[in-house]
Amino acid sequence: MIEFDISLVWLRRDLRLHDQAAFSRALESSKAVHVAFVFDTGILDALPSQRDRRVEFIHGSVAALKQELEAWGATLHVLHGPAGRLVPEFARAMNAQAVFCCRDYEPAAMRRDAAVAATLAGLGIAFHACKDQVIFEQDEVLNRAGKPFGVFTPYKQAWLKKLEAIQLRPWPVQPFCDRLAKAPPAPMPGLEEIGFQRTDLQALGVQPGAAGARRLFEDFLSRIDNYREARNFPALKGPSGLSVHLRFGTVSIRELAAAALGIGGAGAETWLSELIWREFYQQILWHHPRVAEGRCYKLEFDAIEWPDPPGHFEAWCEARTGYPLVDAAMRQFRQTGYLHNRLRMVAASFLVKDLLVDWRRGERYFADHLIDFDLASNSGGWQWAASVGCDAQPWFRIFNPVMQSERFDPGGRFIRRYLPELARVPDKYIHAPWSMPAKVQAECGVRPGREYPLPVVEHGSQREKALALFRRAASAKAGARLSPSGRPG
């Protein structure tokens, strides 16, 4: 039903034109629709480097959208500056009566949107934020007591129970395309003009835009049946690699979930579970925004004072811990900005529970360099790995980095790919090269402490120290629950 003469779609982390809630709703309810994207200096100015793969990914995706819109006789208006000011100004300049966008659940984005909505209201312009990047948002999936879930498995069961075909239905766009406001191609600032430089994105084979997402998804569909087995082994091409596309909305979550449900079987079911993990962390962030501010989901662990010994964090970042799987992971991360999920867990656990570094430092480092950085998943993943977040496992279960390596990279294929200096180390010693007898060292030409670092810490003793930190914080909480008489209060 037509409600507005002119409206504006403000694109953000939803960089596609198909199955896009805000775009569809604007087209359905307006006679003429303009589309804009803002390179928001409020976000860009805070980035640590001018060579940022994410900015190049966004730039490429925006350029592709512009081309797509121009093929329809419309254009994409690409602005650069503070979005909070530019969006209302541009809406007014276009004589828009409404601004449509897809909802963002990050605290800073919610503050920005509230400010934009208030400015627009002052101008007499409506603001419509729509659910798009998740199937279920905010408090749509709650437990029987009406409270948010803090454990994944019951959340997933409730999520699946609530799912109906309508939630997976694509938002229609094509039938209304003639309502796009006709316009000559608008100028678009180059990457340098917005203060950034080209990166190695292309060399890494990362293709931005919906076309990049489609290519990855089609490739993944041919191997989705093996996902359950393959996904844990970093040397294999197990996962989809779609995280950067989900982050920037160059793919529709409805399309992915519908495909997984339609295909069925163990592989697709496991993959759907991962998509649900993403929503689990989104709702945790929405219900408990403190987790984005460095506060633990499990409040008692805010009291832990992490020893943070000098040099440990740097050894981890620079891939010289002496634990091959951890170092290979950190090399992959430094070289590509991507890290396999198993390796995110191993590297994060090692930083916190072996190196005794505050998990917030690792979280920040990932946030600065991950191409798929997502506040909710990163904070959730780090807190999970540090045992301070939403984990059904108790804090005293600690990953053994050597056993993880033996189990998930049995022949050391992944290790050798990223640590070529260990290429000739026999399989038997690849996970713990410090244990090589002198004769084997001479044969393979690797002397621990020379060609490859000695372990920066000893797992067994560090594990005990980590347990002591947790034990102290957990018993302080238990003590606080006791009444002065020593009985539970």
Ligand X SMILES: Cc1cc2nc3c(=O)[nH]c(=O)nc-3n(C[C@H](O)[C@H](O)[C@H](O)COP(=O)(O)OP(=O)(O)OC[C@H]3O[C@@H](n4cnc5c(N)ncnc54)[C@H](O)[C@@H]3O)c2cc1C
Residues 368-387 close enough to bind ligand X by CB under 6 A: 370, 372-374, 377-378, 381-382, 385
Per the annotation, the verdict on 316 as an active-site residue is: no
Per the annotation, the verdict on 382 as an active-site residue is: yes
* Residue 459 in contact with ligand X, rule: CB under 6 A: no
Residues 338, 378 contacting (CB under 8 angstroms): no
**Measuring CA to CA, which residue among 268, 291, 270 is closest to residue 281?**
291
- Alpha-carbon separation of residue 299 from 219, 290, 319, 399 (angstroms): 42, 10, 31, 22
Residues 314-353 close enough to bind ligand X by CB under 6 A: 341, 344-345, 348
Per the annotation, the verdict on 434 as an active-site residue is: no
Name the residue with the smallest CB distance to ligand X. 381
Contacting residue, 90, 159, 171, 277, with ligand X by CB under 6 A: 277
* Residue 240 in contact with ligand X, rule: CB under 6 A: yes
Closer residue to ligand X, CB minimum distance, 91 or 329? 329
Residues 47, 241 contacting (CB under 8 angstroms): no
User: CB of 61: closest distance to ligand X in angstroms?
Assistant: 16
Map residues 208-237 to x or -, x wherever contact with ligand X holds by CB under 6 A: -----------------------x------
- Alpha-carbon separation of residue 381 from 104, 291, 302, 384, 385 (angstroms): 19, 11, 17, 5, 6
Contacts of 51 by beta carbon, 8 Å cutoff, 6+ apart: 196, 197, 198, 199
3-state helix, strand, coil in the chain (%, to 5): 55, 10, 40
* Residue 127 in contact with ligand X, rule: CB under 6 A: no
Per the annotation, the verdict on 95 as an active-site residue is: no
Closer residue to ligand X, CB minimum distance, 348 or 425? 348
Which among 10, 382, 384, 395 is annotated as catalytic?
A: 382
Residues 325, 409 contacting (CB under 8 angstroms): yes
User: CB of 382: closest distance to ligand X in angstroms?
Assistant: 5
Task: Report how far residue 50's alpha carbon sits from residue 353's, in angstroms, rounded to the nearest whole number.
Answer: 33
Closer residue to ligand X, CB minimum distance, 98 or 168? 168
Map residues 346-365 to x or -, x wherever contact with ligand X holds by CB under 6 A: --x-----------------
- The window from 15-23, 41-49, 66-74, 243-251 that contacts ligand X (CB under 6 A) reads 243-251
Neighbours of 230 (CB within 10 A): 16
Task: Report how far residue 55's alpha carbon sits from residue 29's, in angstroms, rounded to the nearest whole number.
Answer: 32
Per the annotation, the verdict on 72 as an active-site residue is: no
User: CB of 104: closest distance to ligand X in angstroms?
Assistant: 15
Q: In what order do the strands lie in the sheet with 76-81?
A: 76-81, 30-40, 4-11, 98-102, 126-130
Residue linked to tokens 């832990």 = 304
* Residue 275 in contact with ligand X, rule: CB under 6 A: yes
User: Annotated catalytic sites, by residue?
Assistant: 274, 277, 306, 341, 359, 382
Residues that bind ligand X (CB under 6 A): 231, 239-243, 246-247, 274-275, 277-278, 281, 341, 344-345, 348, 366, 370, 372-374, 377-378, 381-382, 385
